[in-house]
Amino acid sequence: MVITNGFTYIAFLMFIAGGLLALEKYTKWKIFDLVPPLVFIYLINMIFCTMGLYASEEVSAAYKVLKNNLLYAMIFVMLLRCDFRSLAKLGGRMAAIFLGCTATLFIGTLVGYPIFKGMLGENTWGAVAALYASWVGGSANMAAMQAALPVDPGAFGSALALDTVCYSLWIALLLFMVRYEKKWNDMVKADTSKLQAVADAAAAEVAGVKKQATSADWIFLIGISLMVSAISQWIGGYLNGVLSEAGLAMFDKGTITTVFVTILGLICALSPLGKVPAVEELSNVYLYAVVSMLASMASVTDLINAPMWVVYGIFILAIHVVGMYILSKMFHWDLCMISTASLANIGGAASAPIVASAYDPSYAGIGVLMGVLGAAIGNFSGLLMGYILKMIA
């Protein structure tokens, strides 16, 4: 059986995504605590791809028309919550802890790549850069690298498997470490004197943006995000031509468009657009649509390399732990904020409050804002990692 209609292809992808999300919401199955629906969506579509369900010209045409258009729209909407005036409430110390996590993950990824490169498969540098973007900001940043870098679909699937396994192990370990907070803080002589004041400011900021979205909000956001996607791709193509004539052909259309959309999203986040409700919800709709399409072009056989990818991920986390312990000794960082920042990098804004709240419910807002900071710099971090890995590869 092969799908030979572009609309049926899109409808089927969204049906699978919606069905899995409904199962998570209404059944409360424990399996979704270990493996999020996004991973099931990817695996199921990879299986259908391997079976040949999507092997038609009509499906390929629909994929080419929609994937990048929705992806750039997603990036723009995702960044509308990244208001740096809000992030200022984290304070320099909290931002430094977050960036310390980002830096140690960067070092682990970079040091480990030459060691594991031969065991990960062919053409993997783009997928590793996408993974790093995800470990700075989140899944949306990972998907964004598909347009900005030459990411092999099979390697992307392996990177997603790494992301899922390591994330599950990491959040469990961070929650386990809560009981050792005093021991860690005593070892590094942690300074927690201003923590509660920062937590209160962050909580107030997060609470201030919670509003009920209307149909007008949804239609407005969909319209403006799709228009931004269209205009940005035109500008990306135009600038690519200009830069190529100037001898800077290494900046291709995808890279230029991604950077332009990211900067535009960050600028618009400072405007009233950043306060429009439904931003998070529409970001997720775009994310599930884009990830479903990416999975529909990848074969499940590409996951054969996943075991060594997971080992590579554990290596990165080991470097991350050592690096953060050294930084904590130097700057007296407490375990609560290190754990929150670490999960804000690796898990994103939705996960970081889980660990923060395990220490104190009033710290949840810090986790959210740290996750937003990651989303803001994730694309830039992934591009930087990509160009460095390309030179190594």
pLDDT at 248: 56
Phi-psi region of 268 (alpha: psi -120 to 50; beta: other; left: phi over 0): alpha
- Mean of the per-residue pLDDT values of the chain: 85
Closest CA to 134 of 307, 281, 316, 392: 316
Contacts of 28 (CB under 8 A, 6+ apart): none
Q: 69-90: per-residue pLDDT in tens?
A: 998 898 888 888 777 776 676 6
Q: 137-173: per-residue pLDDT in tens?
A: 887 788 888 778 888 888 888 888 888 788 878 887 8
Q: What is the DSSP string of 188-250?
A: HT---TTHHHHHHHHHHHHHHT-----HHHHHHHHHHHHHHHHHHHHHHHHHHHHHHHTT-TT
Cα 219 to Cα 222, 233, 277: the distances in Å are 5, 21, 11
Return d(Cα 257, Cα 131) in angstroms, integer. Answer: 20
Return d(Cα 50, Cα 35) in angstroms, integer. Answer: 21
Mean pLDDT throughout 191-196? 72
What's the CA dihedral at 166, 311, 328, 381 to 10 degrees?
Answer: -70
Q: Which of 260-264, 274-278, 361-365 has the lowest average pLDDT?
A: 361-365
Return d(Cα 181, Cα 197) in angstroms, integer. Answer: 19
Return d(Cα 5, Cα 314) in angstroms, integer. Answer: 42
What amino acid occupies position 158?
S
Q: Are 363 and 357 in contact (CB under 8 A)?
A: yes
Contacts of 136 (CB under 8 A, 6+ apart): 102, 105, 345, 374, 377, 378, 381, 382
* Residues counted in the chain: 393
What amino acid occupies position 134?
S
pLDDT at 304: 67
Residue 207's pLDDT band (cuts 50, 70, 90)? low
Contacts of 371 (CB under 8 A, 6+ apart): 137, 138, 344, 347, 348, 349, 350, 351, 352
12-22: b or e for each residue (b if 16 or more CB lie within 10 Å)?
A: bbeebbeebbe
Contacts of 13 (CB under 8 A, 6+ apart): 45, 289, 292, 293, 296
The CA angle 18-294-148, to the nearest 5 degrees, is: 130
Q: 234-258: per-residue pLDDT in tens?
A: 998 888 888 777 765 555 677 788 8
The CA angle 332-207-197, to the nearest 5 degrees, is: 30
Q: 93-130: per-residue pLDDT in tens?
A: 888 999 999 999 999 999 999 999 989 888 899 999 99
